[in-house]
Structure 1
Amino acid sequence: MQRWLDVVLRRWHKMLGLSLQSPPSWYRDRLREELRERRNASTSIQRLSETSDVYFSIIRARYDGFPIRNLPPFDFSQHTLVYGYMLAKYSLRWGFYRAAAVLCRAPCYHSIREVVNPAKDSKLDEVAARHQIDPDKFKRVGRKLRRVWPLLP
């Protein structure tokens, strides 16, 4: 089961195609931040969401070539929900930005590979700046898209 999960996660990570972060300490800092948020989570859904963020941080670091920690051995009854939530959450975010770029008629929409939470306008501005997209247009489209696009917290 562990081997199958590794194959699936590797393909998913490749599909997301996120850029490598620099410096390599970024991965460790991100994990620390996610662990802190996980400890502060008070509801079941917050704990699930933050746990999925912790797993994502570990997986991203691993597949980007900067392993910082090992994931616990897969236990179907214990981890299925976390992995399912993580795959859905980050895939929906990735798709959101691609759709927003297409709707903005961004010239290189296929190169948009982002998974930051699009719930805040400031994140839409950051993504637009990184990809040389008109920020006002991208924000306008993103706001409309948020009304119908399923996003997980």
Structure 2
Amino acid sequence: MCSHGYALLRRWYGMLGLSRQSPSSWYRDRLREELRERRTARTPWQKLSETSDVFFSINRARYDGFPVRKLPPFVASRHILVYAYMLAKYTLRWKFYRTAAIRCNTPHYDLVREVVNPSKDHRLDEVATRHQIDPVVFKRVGRQLRRVWPLLP
């Protein structure tokens, strides 16, 4: 990827403001998990989604200072769709949680910076717990939002 592309990704990861994880093995574990899911993907749509997750994991580790693997050389014809999908998928998730926190009247909604899959109720519980939001209310709001929010698998 060209330096402009890396600069864009650095700015994007900065906007997401995800918490740095500890220990550093967390990044390797996430990448292994995403690679496993990528190998089991069957449809082109699943492969695109899982490939975007792999790229996200590699780029996030790099951004957080724990490079776990190099990305394949950027080839626009092969990777532009993966990066576009990745940016859309994780930005929509990030904004979903922000919106849910606002709708729950969370005083510091701007500290809610999450990108886990909100289509799963247990993820809503986890996020609510991490941010001291009433999980019952947050889950109700999250379920309402899921009916209208554009989320990519």
- Give the TM-score category using the shorter length: over 0.9
CA deviation vs aligned residue, 1:109-133 (integer Å, no higher than 9, x gap): 0000000000011000000000000
Map 1:57-76 to 2 at 5 A. Answer: 57-76=57-76
In structure 1, distance between residues paired with 2:99 and 2:152:
17
Q: Is 1:32 equivalent to 2:32 in the alignment?
A: yes
**1:5 and 2:5 are equivalent in the alignment:** yes
| Contact in 2 for aligned 1:58/1:70 (Cα 8 Å) | yes
Q: TM-score, normalised by structure 2?
A: 0.99
What is the count of residue pairs matched by the alignment?
Answer: 153
CA distance in 2, matches of 1:56, 1:124: 21
- Structure 1 match to 2:51: 51
> Root-mean-square deviation (CA), in Å?
0.6
Instruction: Tell me, in whole angstroms, the C-alpha distance in 1 between the residues paired with 2:32 and 2:123.
Output: 21
Counterpart AA for 1:128: A
Aligned to 2:131: 131
> Which stretches in structure 1 are left out of the alignment for 5+ residues?
none
Distance 1:19 1:85 in 2: 22
What is the rounded CA distance, in whole Å, between the counterparts of 1:73 and 1:14 in structure 2?
A: 23
Alignment of 1:62-101 (within 5 A): 62-101=62-101
Match of 1:140 in 2: 140
Instruction: Give the TM-score normalised by the residue count of structure 1.
Output: 0.99
State the secondary structure of the residue aligned to 1:147.
helix
Q: Is the 8 A contact 1:2 1:73 kept in 2?
A: no
Ranges in structure 2 where 5+ consecutive residues have no aligned partner: none
1:74-131 CA distance string (max 9 Å, x none): 1111100000000000000000000000000011100000000000110000000000
Counterpart of 1:58, as a letter, is I
Percent identical among aligned pairs is: 72
Measure, in 2, the Cα distance between the counterparts of 1:32 and 1:117. Answer: 18
Distance across 2 between alignment mates of 1:121 and 1:36 = 23
CA distance in structure 2 between the aligned counterparts of 1:110 and 1:63, rounded to whole angstroms: 21
Question: Helix, strand or coil for the counterpart of 1:97?
Answer: helix
Contact 1:52 1:86 in 2 (8 A): yes
Distance 2:107 2:94 in 1: 17
